[in-house]
Structure 1
């Protein structure tokens, strides 16, 4: 009988240890079961990287697995609507991405405003005189080689720019490329002293690296945007803690611009994000609801 009791106690102790080990493996750093994977959509824009990396590191610290999937804007919004993606940190509203939000309004939720100073439009070097408005381009298209250099097909700024060419009656060809390709071409022309017309937006280090001016847009195609965090509609139910964290999200545009410059200068993206977290604990705690 004593041997039976001893064996039973050993079995009970083993069962408890296995149970505790399993619970520990499935528990995040905050003591919550966070076995779910959160997937971020990442567009090929420098402005997307800093907030995505900061959110990723904070969620990983909460115990979640985080994945990133690269796609153009159209692919990101389609992925959100299908549930293939959970979160996008760089939604430009109310205008630039309004077409996507309207198309998928029943599948995508506007969760939070990241910052409100999202300036964007057509830009030229500041030393080009006599052109301060898009209307001033009429009849002077040859000065820019008859081209406006832009980003990828499907991006909101691309769609809007093509509409602008028609509406303003401009003899311009829209040259679609990646952000990097557009900037490489613009940089090449500016270094040779040639005027160039291309897309610009803030936050972006182009305004640090070059002396640029944003052309006035009398017809109102481009307006100062707010940059929002959006998510698929199932996130609130499937990962309420993540949804609550993102609903408190906020990052100053100046900080994002500084982070972009550091990354462009060769710093590791996640090291830059961790540095921001370490230096902004009050803001981080507010987002975490502490």
Structure 2
């Protein structure tokens, strides 16, 4: 190789190693996400949004029921969902897997739980298990308070009623929003009335109310009081199209403490979700180190530095 050709080769190598290269397709710059209207998913979506915006992406978050959200992923109208609660959503996942419509990105929360609960003053009357409800039907109005129509948990409860399991054949599921359900719980607790409802962790309800999770519902909600794991899903093919954004979502895992704190900021302090996310990250900047490992900005620059700059850290 001549000196001139060697110099040109070195220059080309230097150009390749110093020029930013976008890892993701242009179509990845806006990431379409769904939110069933649950504050835990609103919280994790907000953290993802704040970080993605610092990396030069944007998010388009659509409020959709679980059923519609999954159908939208199947139709390729939604890219990412951070709220795949398992095993409660097993039926939906089986259908999506059969259609090869989604890919699991990561387990984003390992120690959630999700089953029926009562205020502890109700449990102290001896109502601590699913099988204890039927004998006290009148005091409960034969009602179980659930969340939004179409939610898998509501469907599980309706199956339980239809099968007359635990003697609950004459009961009904009251479908409402998360906020509406908790308003009914608050009303009942003020007058120490009996009320049974869907409860889960993470959620500020666990500190707002003195709750007792009911035993006995393993067949419908899983063992260990509805012990659950939450997964991040992507529509089929999206991780290959958007490897850099996918790397962030692989890294983006949470704890009960993180989500409880975020949800409290939104529900108790009245903060907008993205403002709550910025507030939490600024108070816990060390979380960014793991979340942004091996992640770049959309145009290929170091991701951690960019996000810290965007947040004024």
TM-score class, shorter-chain normalisation, is: 0.7 to 0.9
Aligned partner of residue 282 in structure 2, secondary structure: helix
Structure 2: 5+ residue stretches without partners: 1-19, 295-313
Equivalence map 1:176-191=2 (5 Å): 176-191=175-190
Aligned partner of residue 44 in structure 2, secondary structure: helix
- 1:145 equivalent in alignment to 2:144: no
Offset of residue 66 of structure 1: 1.3
Offset of residue 283 of structure 1: 2.9
Measured in 2, the distance between the counterparts of 1:168 and 1:234 equals: 43
Higher RCO, 1 or 2 (CA under 8 Å, sep at least 6)?
Answer: 2
Look up the match of 1:54.
Answer: 47
Equivalent residue for 1:163, pick from 156, 159, 162: 159
Q: TM-score, normalised by structure 2?
A: 0.79
1:54-89, Cα deviation, whole Å (9 max, x unpaired): 111111111112111111111111111111011111
Look up the match of 1:193.
Answer: 192
Measured in 2, the distance between the counterparts of 1:33 and 1:218 equals: 46
Look up the match of 1:134.
Answer: 130
Look up the match of 1:114.
Answer: 108
Equivalence map 1:54-93=2 (5 Å): 54-93=47-86
8 Å CA contact 2:23, 2:242 repeated in 1: no
Measured in 2, the distance between the counterparts of 1:280 and 1:114 equals: 18
8 Å CA contact 2:131, 2:167 repeated in 1: no
Equivalent residue for 1:262, pick from 265, 283, 293: 265
Measured in 1, the distance between the counterparts of 2:214 and 2:232 equals: 28
Offset of residue 218 of structure 1: 5.0
Change (3 A) 1:51 1:218: closer
Q: Count matched residues.
A: 260
Measured in 1, the distance between the counterparts of 2:114 and 2:208 equals: 16
Look up the match of 2:215.
Answer: 216
Cα RMSD over matched residues? 1.7
- 1:247 equivalent in alignment to 2:250: yes
Offset of residue 133 of structure 1: 0.3
